[in-house]
Chain A
């Protein structure tokens, strides 16, 4: 079974959905029609841009451009995290990028080279979608871990300082907070393993089935994806919390974060 291409007229017809949504906004005075318009423009243009870029990179099939696109995706993800996690006292961007790069690359490499056994391991049609899924999902995990880390260190400043005052080092003083921050990042990907296949058909599996793949092959891919996301969120959350927690304390093991 091969993929049925969507004709240009068919694609145009899909605009009917946003026209309907825009009309509802106008009739019900929701004030969303501008957002719907610009959202549609951005969806179409950004995805086509991505499509042409991927097509070009697929043709090149060399490691350099693949890793460059992968690195740019990580930088964008780090920027999104910076927008979400509000903290001016600790410059956490660099350790976030380092954690993302190390953990995601390791997981993506194991999946393409070890599990799917693509040759070469950086083949863009495999490495970029796999890397993209890891980055997109684990980005949320890292943001959750950082939010929890900063929030708890501030809220429990008196407890942390009590530990420090009694001779604890910074690791001992923030041990519970560290564990809670790593868990906060890991829990969503663990929870998603519980509902998968019961309450939703995941995007990647749906895509493969639509593209004509045998459902069992699609299932195998989906299992790998779910498991790799658990691994990458765990590794990413652990690394980023480890590095950023150190930055929250001075060399003299005193807490650098102020109160809320």
Chain B
């Protein structure tokens, strides 16, 4: 589904962060990506949906270069969720429905309050009002809200950067279980950067280690 061929990327005036990465991510793959701080894990995720462009090499999605896609539409299918949730100074409902205002969502129907409410219940946010200002929520609540926002778009691939970093262990487990179910039942591809020792419990996964610009697959 996603394929990287000899991808090289570096920021200005510095050595390449990623140096000749090749990888095939198949439909329904669940990838765990680890590596020391600053090793380029977030950069790797941002390359996969075109927020960054490789200096060398090519990235394919369904066999076609990313550049052949309309990027806004592509980014609704291959969604990147950063570690720090970014929410607008607006209500929870407006934040969750934000992507449905974009031109790339012309044909999509915004979720009803019932659908949104169901997601809030699943992620233990049933006490959060749709009218509440999202900026006033706790970091953990914001992180789950940002996750719900991308799930509402029904992506094909989720690029998740430490999605449970600010959550308590119980809620963390809820999120992990949900992601595993999504992967197992709907075949959503998941690439997750993770510092903790989490490994999927119910689905097959692939474990990668990124260091010094190189990607190494480890025994799962």
Contact = CB atoms under 8 A, between A and B. Distances in A.
Interface in A141-182: 158-159, 161-169, 172
A161 B82 contact: yes
B174 interface: no
B76 A166 contact: yes
B66 A252 contact: yes
Interface string B76-109: 1001111010101000000000110111110000
Interface size class of B (residues with CB under 8 A): 20 to 34
Contacts of A159: 86, 88
A258 interface: yes
Interface of A: 158-159, 161-169, 172, 250-254, 258
A166 B102 contact: yes
16 contacts: A158-B84, A158-B86, A159-B88, A161-B51, A163-B102, A164-B51, A167-B75, A167-B104, A168-B104, A169-B72, A172-B103, A251-B67, A252-B53, A252-B67, A253-B72, A254-B53
B62 interface: no
A258 B14 CA distance: 14
B35 to A, nearest CB: 21
Contacts of B67: 251-252
Contact of A250 (B53, B73, B149): B53
B12 interface: yes
Contacts of A161: 51, 82, 86
A162 B82 contact: yes
Given A166-B79, A169-B104, A252 B99 contact: no
B53 A166 contact: no
B155 to A, nearest CB: 10
Contact of B82 (A165, A167, A168, A258): A165
Contacts, number: 69
Q: At the interface, is chain A mostly helix, strand, loop or mixed?
A: loop
A18 to B, nearest CB: 48
B153 A166 contact: yes
A162 B161 CA distance: 13
Contacts of A162: 82, 86
Given A158-B82, A158-B84, A258-B12, A166 B52 contact: no
A167 B99 contact: yes
A183 B102 CA distance: 24
A165 B88 CA distance: 14
A169 B103 contact: yes
A166 B82 CA distance: 11
B150 interface: yes
B71 interface: yes
Of B67, B71, B73, B103, most A-chain CB atoms within 10 Å: B71
A167 B153 contact: yes
Contacts of B103: 169, 172
B79 A253 contact: no
Given A252-B67, A254-B52, A254-B53, A167 B73 contact: yes
B141 interface: no
Nearest to A89: B12
Nearest to B69: A252
A164 B50 CA distance: 10
B49 interface: yes
A207 B93 CA distance: 59
Nearest to B159: A165
A50 B81 CA distance: 59
Contact of A166 (B11, B71, B84, B99): B99
